Amino acid sequence: MATNTQVIESTSFGHHPVRKVPELSLRSYTDGTQSERIRFIDNLYEGLIDYGFIVLNDHPLKMRQVEDSYKKVMKFFSLPKTVKEEYASANGGQRGYTPFLSEHAKDSDFPDLKEFWHVGRELEKGHRFGKIYNPNMWPSEIPEFKKVLLDLFQTMDKMSHTLLEALGTALDLVPGTFSRMIEDGNSILRAIHYPPVEGQDTKNSIRAAAHEDINLITMLVGATDSGLELKDRDGQWLKVESQSDQIVVDSGDMLSRLTNDVIPATTHRVVNPDEAQTSRFSMPFFVHPNPEAVLKCLPSCVGAGAKYPDILANDFLLQRLKEIGLLR
């Protein structure tokens, strides 16, 4: 696997050293010795605290899955606007297509320069969450879209259990705590298209304005172009450059809330390209608890007292969807 992902300081000064993102081998946790597992757990925890993100190598996701998924979503986004809008979802964009200029960052008055497609969990008939989760939509114009995207979803979903269980050990949780929280959770695979910005309001809007993700952790698989920047804990914007076979993991608002800000949510953005005619595609997997999970400060993180009141995961999600303009 590639091991040269770096975070480079966004500054005009040339005197700062190149920052190295914590790169972890997931295999060292799943198949390693006891000492290797402990080292992975420690580095995962410290990486999310210090940087807000880590990079995974040696994971079970195959390049074939990544490449096939990007091919399918690229075909969808190349369809005529009228066809794409037939798959638009009215319920907060939680499934199917969300048109260009629909979403904005929390507290921002200007829309992001992107369109996207959401794939959620497939539930068995009669499941109690069936009244909460919208059914997935599948574009009939793209053969095997469903098969390919669900395959990617399921691999990422399984990996999220592994990552959060490792993090749970660092947080002194009873084994299985995070897995129970995200079992049948409302996780989302988002396929994003950032069209060329030529002719757009690039003075006020960028591809994705500075924001924090709503969920527990985000797992970003591949991207066809640069532009992603994360805000370091010292407030500096840092460019993220990664290989297509690496997974970038960052922390979201729900994890921040659970840990009483011990692990803060990671602020990030996608800036506009130098070449206005270029497109960008990316696919983050947003790891969510199930709707009945309670976001309650973890015992190991209480410190001087919990900063946030308890709230159901689904209530927090709906609140945030309203704040970013997807739910009215």
Distance linking the first and last C-alpha atoms of the chain: 44
**Beta strands 188-194 and 280-287: pairing type?**
antiparallel
What pTM was estimated for this model as a whole? 0.90
Alpha-carbon 198 to chain mean position: 27
Give the distance between the most distant pair of CA atoms in the chain.
Answer: 60
* pLDDT digits 0-9 by tens, 117-142: 999 999 999 999 999 998 999 999 99
Contact 249, 236 (CB under 8 A): no
CB atoms within 10 A of CB 319: 12
Alpha-carbon distances, residue 195 vs 76, 80, 129, 208 (angstroms):
13, 13, 34, 12
- CA angle in degrees (0–180, nearest 5) for 122-97-287: 50
Strand partners, 9: 238
- The list of the chain residues with pLDDT below 50 reads 1-17
**Whole-angstrom Cα distance, residue 289 to residue 312?**
10
All structural domains of the chain: 7-122+138-323 (2.60.120.330)
**Which tens digits make up the pLDDT trace of 295-319?**
999 999 999 899 999 999 999 999 9
